[in-house]
Amino acid sequence: METMEMLELEMVQENDAVETGWTRVCDLRDLSTGSGTCARAGGAQVAVFRISDDEFRAVQNICPHSGAPVLHQGLVGDHNGVAKVTCPLHKRSYDLTDGHNLSGEGGKIRTWPVRIQDGAVWVGSR
């Protein structure tokens, strides 16, 4: 019975994502400040970060330097008052607001809007 309820809930969430263009990533309580997680949204791997209690960012999870899906494991920090993530492999840094490369090498990364609703973190489509 519990499995049926879970399946129905998943179907509602999938339908909601299709109708609204928003994908549920995780429960808000499961994403602690300064950490990131990875989700699939709109056919892309998205890294979602909690910058503070009420500040979130979403960027592509693939680091453009090597193509490795690792940015969600990067170190969250600050660059002149702007939130950034530093790739765990070779330490290139990316602005989490507009996605530009702070290390001066390589391209910009894609960003997505994030919202909090019903105790969960959601990523929107662009």
Q: Does 110 bind ligand FES (CB under 6 A)?
A: no
Would you report the helix, strand and coil content of the chain in percent, each value rounded to 5? 20, 45, 35
- Of the pair 23, 61, the CB lying nearest ligand FES is at 61
Distance CA(25)–CA(13), nearest Å, equals 11
- Which among 6-14, 26-34, 83-91, 112-120 is the span making contact with ligand FES, rule CB under 6 A? 83-91
**One of 44, 68, 76, 102 touching ligand FES (CB under 6 A):** 68
- Of the pair 56, 94, the CB lying nearest ligand FES is at 94
Distance CA(55)–CA(48), nearest Å, equals 11
